[in-house]
Structure 1
Amino acid sequence: MVLALGGSSAESWEFAVDSFYAVWGYALFMWFAGSAMCFYVWLQAHKLFTKVIPTRFNRQRREVCFMPEGATQPLFVPWESLSAWVVQGQSATQYGITRHYGMGMGFMHEGELVSVEFQCGALQLAIANWEAVRGYMEYELNDLHAIQDPLELQAPGDPPHEGLHTFRNARASLHRRIREKEVGWIYGFFWYVYHVMTLWTLPNHLVEWEIKRIAKVGRKALPEAMREWSEPLPPEQWAKPSAELLRLSAKVKALVKRSPRRAITEIFAEVNRP
């Protein structure tokens, strides 16, 4: 800047040094404050493992188990009486419009809504979360691999989280694709550049450490009623879907087969239209 105004290189260097010393204290404070805030959020999220019992889905019984906050006994609700929703909101500031998405499910109990809700990164992700749950309960999805590993980054026997094995499988897949001429060396070069810029395997090591910490901390013990409810049933005792659900499911599948690129929300709306 000083050079642009006609100053010498020495004056420019002095200006840069003075600017650095003028702001480094504020920058260091902001870094510590931001790190402390992130650590607090992370710690609070980990404490939930010892405080919250997650909602459980039992497709053999075709029931959902809720454990509301502060309750001493779980609530069991038939799967087909469960309500689910996806919400979208937006807020405007001087910097632009920010959109928010979320997904929730619940039911009415003694005149009050018992529900669980969580934020999602996009409307499609919110719908996908519900579709994963619905697909599991209707025996269309039987394992995590069907919905969690479209890039085949997990070998048989690998744990479901994205740890070191994920990185190694991705690198092996890259080398295979290069050998088979599926991608070129330029693609491989930028693959390595990207992972070097994202600290190589450090994120995967952090995931492995976090998984071990969660296992060490443990989770909140399940009530006896929930443990008994979670026990498997013999096939002859499995609950059956209602005739109405089978009719609607068949109609949805027919519409999806006819228009595979059509939004699933439009198909659901058409099926439920009077």
Structure 2
Amino acid sequence: MDSKNAQSEQPPRAGRSEPFPSGRLTFLSPNPLPTGLPPVDHGHAVGEVNNSYLDFGAGATSVFGWQSTLGIPFFCFLLGAFFFPFVVFLGGFTFGNGWEDALWGWRVTFDFAFWIAVWGGLFGFFMLSLPRWQAYAKLKNVVPTRFNRQRREVCFVPEGQKEPIFIPWEELVAWVTEAQGVTEYGVQRQYGFGIGFYHPDTGEKYTLEFETYGQPQAISTWEAIRAYMEYEVHTLKEIQDPLELQGPDDPPWEGVHVFHNARKRLHEEYREGKRGVLYLTGWYLYHLMTFWTLPNRLVEWEVRKIKRMSRKTMPKAMVEWSESIPEDQWVAPTEELKHQSKRVLELKKSNPQTPITQIFAQVTEESGASASMTA
């Protein structure tokens, strides 16, 4: 996605949609309005969450990411080392001279295919792991963006800089992008979520963007941040556990406890008749192919690693700013935001099928007209 082309030439306003050469950019803020979508961090970009702040941009990967990294190369290894020789064995038995040709074909194919499968699996594991290690290398010098709901501010530390920049929450700009391009495989569509601001002293523009699976997922990620800042959600579990596989006392990441909770629920549903034998068997085969609890243990290791790196790189001013303050000093939302948020909810309730960005545009236009009349 070409972020240079996906920049607005007009002042940002919630609901405004602007085309760029390969797609379209739609603003969700300034003035963070409720979207009506579930507050879910699909990409696991959110890291630590507590009563004072939320970290964005340094979260651990999901267990599915590790399952893919381990399971896909292992499946390819089994396919090459055992399945293909077995096919040759069946072919020799069916079209050859019985067991003798079948065993000979299996032995020759196995001797040839086994090491190809071993090195191919290792190469696949390396290629799937490479982006993760590259991300770790970047995290050594990157400080996550921190949202402080008590102060209603956002703290950025741009890459390569040491001094944090503090931006009022209601002035933060957020957007979703939709882009498409033509490749040898056909037309491909990409979606992304971004936040940005202008430096209060220099006026320089800073942006942070990442890809998502689709526009609803991008908006849900923003809703997770907005809901936290507006005291609608309070824990990481609420925005990263849509399947409710974490108990009340479990840590808020997909560790080994999630595996055990999922297996316990599976057996309960099997006893109640909600799941059949095929589903039960498939669940066990899938987790055997993905190395049982190893992906969950790797997630736990990753969480500890990311936390250590974040603590080392965090500026002192950001640490002090992150400390909790007395409740009587908490900053309240502006009256304008309260009014616009209430209006958004009213319009969404009366017109549930209307796109939320269209409702945003209507509300900001009404607010602009009202401000002009007042002036």
| Same topology, TM > 0.5 | yes
Q: CA deviation at 1:129?
A: 0.9
Q: Partner residue of 2:185?
A: 95
- Of the structure 1 ranges 55-64 and 247-256, higher mean CA displacement relative to structure 2 is found in 247-256
Given the superposition, is the C-alpha separation of residues 259 and 189 from structure 1 closer, same or farther in structure 2, using an over 3 Å criterion?
farther
Q: CA deviation at 1:203?
A: 1.7
Amino acid at match of 1:135: A
2: distance between equivalents of 1:227 and 1:216? 14
Helix, strand or coil: the match of 1:129?
A: helix
Q: Assess if the C-alpha contact under 8 Å between 2:155 and 2:166 holds in 1.
A: yes
Q: Assess if the C-alpha contact under 8 Å between 1:91 and 1:97 holds in 2.
A: yes
Q: Partner residue of 1:138?
A: 230
Summarize the alignment of residues 199-218 of structure 1 with structure 2, pairs less than 5 Å apart.
Answer: 199-214=291-306
Give the TM-score normalised by the residue count of structure 2. 0.63
Q: Partner residue of 1:63?
A: 153
Helix, strand or coil: the match of 2:205?
A: strand
Summarize the alignment of residues 13-92 of structure 1 with structure 2, pairs less than 5 Å apart.
Answer: 17=108, 21=112, 31-92=121-182
Cα deviation code 1:237-265 (max 9, x no counterpart): 11111111111100112233334455433
Q: CA deviation at 1:39?
A: 3.8
Q: CA deviation at 1:213?
A: 4.0
Q: Partner residue of 2:59?
A: none
Aligned-pair Cα RMSD in Å:
3.2
Q: Partner residue of 2:252?
A: 160
Q: Assess if the C-alpha contact under 8 Å between 1:50 and 1:219 holds in 2.
A: no
Amino acid at match of 1:118: F
1: distance between equivalents of 2:243 and 2:149? 27
Helix, strand or coil: the match of 2:313?
A: coil
Q: Assess if the C-alpha contact under 8 Å between 2:246 and 2:258 holds in 1.
A: yes
- Of the structure 1 ranges 178-187 and 223-232, higher mean CA displacement relative to structure 2 is found in 178-187
1: distance between equivalents of 2:344 and 2:297? 43
Cα deviation code 1:136-157 (max 9, x no counterpart): 1111212223222222200012
Amino acid at match of 1:257: K
- Of the structure 1 ranges 79-88 and 218-227, higher mean CA displacement relative to structure 2 is found in 218-227
2: distance between equivalents of 1:241 and 1:212? 34
Q: Partner residue of 2:350?
A: 258
Amino acid at match of 1:243: E
Q: Assess if the C-alpha contact under 8 Å between 1:177 and 1:183 holds in 2.
A: yes
Provide the identity percentage. Answer: 49
Q: Assess if the C-alpha contact under 8 Å between 2:142 and 2:313 holds in 1.
A: no
Unaligned runs of 5+ in 2: 1-86, 367-375
- Of the structure 1 ranges 251-260 and 60-69, higher mean CA displacement relative to structure 2 is found in 251-260
1: distance between equivalents of 2:306 and 2:365? 46
Given the superposition, is the C-alpha separation of residues 264 and 35 from structure 1 closer, same or farther in structure 2, using an over 3 Å criterion?
same
Cα deviation code 1:60-110 (max 9, x no counterpart): 111111101122211111111110111121221222222222111111122
Q: Assess if the C-alpha contact under 8 Å between 1:85 and 1:105 holds in 2.
A: yes
Q: CA deviation at 1:190?
A: 3.3
Q: Partner residue of 2:217?
A: 125
- Which protein has greater RCO, CA pairs closer than 8 Å, 6+ apart? 2
Q: Assess if the C-alpha contact under 8 Å between 1:82 and 1:105 holds in 2.
A: yes
Q: Assess if the C-alpha contact under 8 Å between 1:67 and 1:75 holds in 2.
A: yes
Q: Assess if the C-alpha contact under 8 Å between 1:86 and 1:102 holds in 2.
A: yes
For the pair 1:228 / 2:329, whether they are aligned, the reply is: no
Helix, strand or coil: the match of 1:266?
A: helix
Q: CA deviation at 1:272?
A: 2.8
Given the superposition, is the C-alpha separation of residues 51 and 160 from structure 1 closer, same or farther in structure 2, using an over 3 Å criterion?
same
Q: CA deviation at 1:205?
A: 2.6
Helix, strand or coil: the match of 2:233?
A: coil
2: distance between equivalents of 1:179 and 1:32? 40
Q: Assess if the C-alpha contact under 8 Å between 1:52 and 1:220 holds in 2.
A: no
Q: Assess if the C-alpha contact under 8 Å between 1:63 and 1:77 holds in 2.
A: yes
Cα deviation code 1:184-214 (max 9, x no counterpart): 4444343334333433323223223333444
Q: Assess if the C-alpha contact under 8 Å between 2:212 and 2:218 holds in 1.
A: yes
Q: Of the candidates 325, 336, 356, which is equivalent to residue 244 of structure 1? A: 336
Q: Assess if the C-alpha contact under 8 Å between 2:269 and 2:275 holds in 1.
A: yes
1: distance between equivalents of 2:289 and 2:166? 48
Q: Assess if the C-alpha contact under 8 Å between 2:141 and 2:160 holds in 1.
A: no
Helix, strand or coil: the match of 1:87?
A: strand
1: distance between equivalents of 2:293 and 2:113? 36
Helix, strand or coil: the match of 2:217?
A: helix
